Every structure is written in structure tokens, then in C-alpha cells.
Amino acid sequence: MKDVKVVLYPTMGASHMIPMVQLAKLFINHRISVEIAVINPPIMPPATTKFISKVSSTNPEISFNLLPPLSLPSQPARTPLSNMFHTLRANNTELQSYLQSLSKTASIAALVIDFFCVDALDVAAELGIPTYIFYASGANALAVYFPLPDLVPTWDRRKKDVGKTPIVIPGIPLLHVSDTPSLILEFDTEEHKLFVNALRRRTEAKGILINTFESLEHRAVKTIKDGLCLSTRPIPPIYCVGPLVTAAFNIWCSFNMHLQKGEHRLGELSKNVFSFSMN
């Protein structure tokens, strides 16, 4: 009889690996075996290598599988975000080979991917593996992001004050476009298109795991569960699995607490959260 495993798939960078490891510990506490598939870019960040080594020595029950190194063709200069999306997409072949190999000895119950790894949805669909997205921030931020792909085309980008356009979501304090990450207003850039596409593809997952607990963000959780933040397509089931405390917890907590209090000057906070996730 094959072992049952859950595969976790974070993107590059220690700040993405850290919360995914916390999630791995949660699965293990429920006696669910996990493996973490690690992308092997041309240049592995030293912080990531050090973190993996430390976790492996202190938590031997967490298995890391370093995928074969990527050999990427030379490309025109890209922003770090665009480069990350292209690297993740290029890694699909290696991810598929790894999952196919693992399935010979284990039954893969689910693939849990980082928000930025949305191209892995194509691999999982081809292999028939249920895929869940792990969102390491809270429910308030998630509820704001859900409608953005549909809202962006409705904004009058010719207006100099387009940043003042309100974002009205039931159960969420009033926000404005300027409160979102700055790339949302960079309409013609590649990173804007890639990011908005990633937001749109969230609804393709079988479910979304959120780093929160329902009593902390009950209004936002209800907004998402009731589909009030997105009317054009169904929202997958959401599961509150937090709080998974990481180095980013204070930033996460500050961002979400400001949302719950209804404070509107969130631009700097939201940018800080987004920037932290990219490190």
C-alpha cells in the first residue's frame, strides 16, 4: 500500500519558504506526511539554502526535494517579479517529472502551492492531482484581491487621480486603488499583467488555505465564503489554518488589523507586505 503524501510547492525566497514550512508542521501534527518541492534556480539565494539546512536538521520529518537545476535561456532584462513568474513557468516540466516519479511510490493526496506558483495548476490538472493555494496573509487582503482582475478593466486609466477610485467590497472597509500594490496601477507593464493573471487563476484551485482564524477576521471570512467579493465566478472553499506565526507575522497582523479598523491610509502597509513577500 502506498504512503499518502501532501506535496508543498513554495516559490523562491526564504520569506515564502518559512510560512510553507510552518504549514508542513501543521500537516505533520495531524499525522499527514509531507514533501516540499524546492525550485532550483540558476542562483540559489544563500538564505534559502541556509534555511533548508536548518529545518532539515531540526525537523527531519520534513522532507525537501530539490528539483533539477533550471537552465534558462538568456532573456531581455526583466523586473524581479516578471523574472520570478517566468522561472516558475519554466519549472513546470521539472515539477511534473518529480510528481510523476513520486506517484510511483506514494499516493499524492494534494499539491499545495504558493500564490505565485499558479502555473503549477496546469501540471496538477494534467496529472489529476487536487491543488490548493496557500495564502500566507490574512482574509481581509485576500478578499480585496479576489475582485481586482475584474475591476482593473473598468478603471479609467486616463484619469490622473485613478488611484482615488474606490474599491467597494461588502464586509471590507472602503479602500481605494492607491491602497493596493503600486504595480496594480502600472497597467502596461509585464509584471502588472502577470500579477493580475495570477490573481485571476486563484479561482481554479480546489481550495484556498488562509493564514488566519475565523474569529479574528470573521467579516472578511464571511465575505469570501458567501462570494460577496466576486460575482463573476465561484470562489473555491477556503480553510482558515492559522495563525502560522512567521517572521512576517507583525507585518501581516498590522496590515489586517488596519483593514478591520477601517483605516484608509493603507498604501504603505500594503506595499510593505507585498515587498516582504518578494524577498
Model confidence over 79-131: pLDDT tens digits? 888 888 988 999 999 999 999 999 999 999 999 999 999 999 999 999 999 99
Which tops the pLDDT comparison, 186 or 1? 186
Cβ 140 vs Cβ 220: under 8 Å: yes
Contacts for 253 with CB less than 8 Å, ≥ 6 apart: none
pTM of the model: 0.85
Distance CA 59, CA 27 (A): 13
pLDDT at 269: 38
pLDDT at 76: 63
Residue type, 139: A
What would the mean pLDDT of 24-36 be, rounded to a whole number?
95
Which tops the pLDDT comparison, 258 or 54? 54
Residue 7 exposure: Cα atoms within 13 Å on the Cβ side = 25
125-166 pLDDT tens trace: 999 999 999 998 899 999 999 999 999 999 988 887 899 999
Does residue 10 carry a pLDDT above 60? yes
173-230 pLDDT tens trace: 999 999 998 889 899 999 999 999 999 999 999 999 999 999 999 999 999 999 999 9
Number of C-beta neighbours around residue 158 at 10 A = 6
Radius of gyration of the chain (CA): 19
Q: H helices of the chain, where?
A: 14-29, 46-58, 80-90, 92-102, 120-127, 139-145, 148-151, 190-201, 218-225, 249-261, 267-277
Does residue 262 carry a pLDDT above 70? no
235: left (phi over 0), alpha (psi -120 to 50) or beta: beta
Which of 19-23, 72-76, 173-177 is predicted with the least confidence, judged by mean pLDDT? Answer: 72-76
pLDDT at 101: 96
DSSP state of 178: G
Number of C-beta neighbours around residue 48 at 10 A = 20
Cβ 236 vs Cβ 208: under 8 Å: yes
pLDDT at 77: 60
What would the mean pLDDT of 32-58 be, rounded to a whole number?
87
> Minimal CA–CA distance to 242: which of 273, 213, 207, 218?
213
Take residue 276 and report the three cell numbers written for it.
516582504
pLDDT at 14: 73
Cβ 214 vs Cβ 221: under 8 Å: yes
What is the share, in percent, of the chain residues with pLDDT greater than 70? 86
pLDDT at 251: 47
Chain mean pLDDT for the chain: 85
pLDDT at 45: 76
pLDDT at 120: 97
Per-residue pLDDT band at 246 (split at 50, 70, 90): low
